[in-house]
Amino acid sequence: MATTTPDGVRAHAKDGGGSPDGAPMTHRQIMEALSGLLLGMFVAILSSTIVSNALPQIISDLGGGQSAYTWVVTASLLAMTATTPLWGKLADLYSKKALVQIALSIYVLGSMAAGLSQNPGTLIACRVVQGIGVGGLSALAQIVMAAMISPRERGRYSGYLGATFAVATVGGPLLGGVITDTSWLGWRWCFYVGVPFAVIALIVLQKTLRLPVVKRDVKVDWAGAFFISAAVSLLLVWVTFAGDKYDWLSWQTYTMVAGSVVLGAIFVFIESKASEPIIPLRLFRNRTITLSSLASLFVGVAMFAGTVFFAQYFQLARDKSPTMSGVLTIPMIGGLFVSSTVSGQIITRTGKWKAWLVSGGVLVTAGLGLLSTIRYDTAYWKVAVFMALLGLGIGMMMQNLVLCTQNQVEAEDLGSASSTVTFFRSLGGAVGVSALGAVMVHRITDYVKDGLTDLGPKYAQLASSSSGNSSIPDMDKLPAPLRTVMESAYGHGIADVFLIAAGMAFLAFLITLFIKEVPLRTASAQTQAASSEDTVQDAPKAAAEAAAPAEEKATS
């Protein structure tokens, strides 16, 4: 049975069963529903990290160069970032369960096709499809959790989300390295390996995830979705190619940046007129949402910089295998796992979250600042401590920026608000990886030139012929003196990237200082929506009861 509210919302009784009256779910019900959701999230993160250590082999086998290497990473990030707001808005309008299943299905199709790719162009197109699915899973996981669990209790369960993130982040590069190093598997299995998990997640979600469906009889703002996707895509294309295909200060830069600004302005205009905007502009009247979104932008730079550039540091500056480079990043992931789990449990008990947010900003800034001092021969235990600090900080910030935003909005805006924070984090990561990657290449080139001045023209010519068009030199084929120069250059260049990321993290820390701590609600979005419907239905009865004494008094 469905009820209709005055604003045109049809609230259907249930989505596959569950508590149609909006009663709080039991711990067992929540854990059953989370099992499929976390498995889907695991698949999403795994797909983003598993190719990092396998990319050199993939691009070499497919006959691609520097451009293809960059685009295999960027295409997925671009699609994920551009579609996140749309997934969030759809979650406010349609069945969250069905949307999660659709996102998983898109991911499966993209992964299967990517594994069959015969050239770089096909692989890049398939990565776009994967990114659309991953964008949906990343946004919807937070939204579904908020629908089921109150902000006060969410910290307890956010720890499981943080643990899943940690396992998939460290497991992805490690698994990708093992698959690539195993001759009878090969890199194509990097795309196939997540498919069984996705299929299992689909089955588990169908059986365990039960949420009421609140479907509004309104049209999706497709115009807004198009213009925000176009604005973000043009911005990322510019950042990806700037410093490589053309100079940072060039007519291409001016054209693309101006085009992105114009498209963004058109998007804002459309959103101001739309009845159901993709990103409701009124949300930004709330200071917490505005500051959280801005902080997420800078946290995204720090988070993605840590996961992307460590693989290159360990493989190129320290001569580790793809498998070992994954193992050596465990301290960072361990820190993330511990901080997200412990902070979540304590926040649930105390209801206080801002101290964790601010402390996370301090640790991320300190971790990246210390990482900016590393070189190719820095003792590993020092690098491990610095990575652990970074992981601890990210674990404290990532979940709590979403939590404080979700705590500020009503149930009907939950999807849009959650996806907005996720969108800015993904945007920061995508732009940050591309821009910092360009800076890294530039700095490494300078350090190589400086190192070659002492080796003579023979090694300078050999260095030039060894690098060619490849993004990664084969260190094993270089003579010892030249190899030392190259490893030193990569170690120092990547450290410079961490210094820039530390500056971004410091900005995020400053922003968190101005976020006001608001007590966490004790009702889930599902319960809030049910209470709202009851209030609407009871309004005529209450009005009649209030009018009755007045009529009796007038009669007398």
Q: Would 537 be classed as within a structural domain?
A: no
Of residues 195 and 365, the one with the higher pLDDT is 365
| Same domain membership, residue 235 and residue 203 | no
Provide, for the chain, the percentages of residues in helix, strand and coil under a 3-state DSSP scheme, each rounded to the nearest 5.
75, 0, 20
Q: What is the pLDDT of residue 13?
A: 39
Cβ 428 vs Cβ 305: under 8 Å:
no
| Same domain membership, residue 403 and residue 360 | yes
Cβ 140 vs Cβ 87: under 8 Å:
yes
| Same domain membership, residue 197 and residue 131 | yes
Q: Would 497 be classed as within a structural domain?
A: yes
| Same domain membership, residue 323 and residue 302 | yes
| Same domain membership, residue 331 and residue 416 | yes
Name the phi and psi angles at 63, rounded to 5: 75, 30
- What secondary structure letter does DSSP report for 478? S
Listing DSSP states for 366-423 in one string gives HHHHHHTT--TTS-HHHHHHHHHHHHHHHHHHHHHHHHHHHTTS-GGGHHHHHHHHHH
Q: Is the pLDDT of residue 160 over 70?
A: yes
Q: Would 325 be classed as within a structural domain?
A: yes
Q: Please, which pLDDT band fits residue 456 given cuts at 50, 70 and 90?
A: low
Instruction: Look at residue 354 and give its three-state secondary structure.
Output: helix
Q: Is the pLDDT of residue 256 over 70?
A: yes
Share of the chain above pLDDT 70, in %: 79
| Same domain membership, residue 363 and residue 258 | no
Of residues 11 and 45, the one with the higher pLDDT is 45
What is the extent of the structural domain holding 121? 26-221+274-517
Which residue, among 94, 376, 394, has the nearest Cα to 220 in the 3D structure? Answer: 94
What mean pLDDT comes out for the span 500-506?
Answer: 92
| Same domain membership, residue 367 and residue 259 | no
Q: Please, which pLDDT band fits residue 455 given cuts at 50, 70 and 90?
A: low
Of residues 512 and 222, the one with the higher pLDDT is 512
Q: What is the pLDDT of residue 484?
A: 83
Of residues 6 and 154, the one with the higher pLDDT is 154
Side chain identity at residue 36, one-letter code: G
**CB under 8 Å, gap of 24 or more: what pairs does 532-535 form?**
532/5, 532/410, 532/411, 533/3, 533/5, 533/11, 533/22
Q: Is the pLDDT of residue 329 over 90?
A: no
Q: Is the pLDDT of residue 280 over 90?
A: no
Q: Which two tokens stand for residue 434?
A: 């591309």
The CATH number given to whatever domain includes residue 35 is 1.20.1250.20
Q: Is the pLDDT of residue 306 over 70?
A: no
| Diameter over CA atoms, the chain | 112
| CA-to-CA dists, residue 220 to 66, 217, 281, 330, angstroms | 39, 10, 16, 42
| Same domain membership, residue 400 and residue 369 | yes
Q: Please, which pLDDT band fits residue 6 given cuts at 50, 70 and 90?
A: very low
Angle at 20 between CA 18 and CA 22, to 5 degrees: 100
Share of the chain above pLDDT 90, in %: 13
Name the phi and psi angles at 193, rounded to 5: -65, -30
Q: Is 276 exposed, middle or buried (0-12, 13-18, 19+ CB in 10 A)?
A: middle
Q: Would 483 be classed as within a structural domain?
A: yes
Residue keyed to tokens 């969250």:
96
Of residues 176 and 556, the one with the higher pLDDT is 176
What mean pLDDT comes out for the span 198-220?
Answer: 74
| Same domain membership, residue 291 and residue 249 | no
| Same domain membership, residue 239 and residue 154 | no
Look over the chain and give the mean of its residue pLDDT values, rounded to a whole number.
78
Q: Would 527 be classed as within a structural domain?
A: no
Q: What is the pLDDT of residue 163?
A: 73
Cβ 235 vs Cβ 254: under 8 Å:
no
Q: Would 119 be classed as within a structural domain?
A: yes
pTM, two decimals, is: 0.77
| Same domain membership, residue 299 and residue 415 | yes
Cβ 74 vs Cβ 232: under 8 Å:
no
Total domain count, the chain: 2
Q: Would 535 be classed as within a structural domain?
A: no
Q: Is the pLDDT of residue 368 over 90?
A: yes
Q: What is the pLDDT of residue 343?
A: 85
Which residue, among 43, 156, 145, has the nearest Cα to 415 in the 3D structure? Answer: 145
Q: Would 522 be classed as within a structural domain?
A: no
Q: Which two tokens stand for residue 493?
A: 């260049």
Q: Is the pLDDT of residue 84 over 80?
A: yes
| Same domain membership, residue 471 and residue 335 | yes
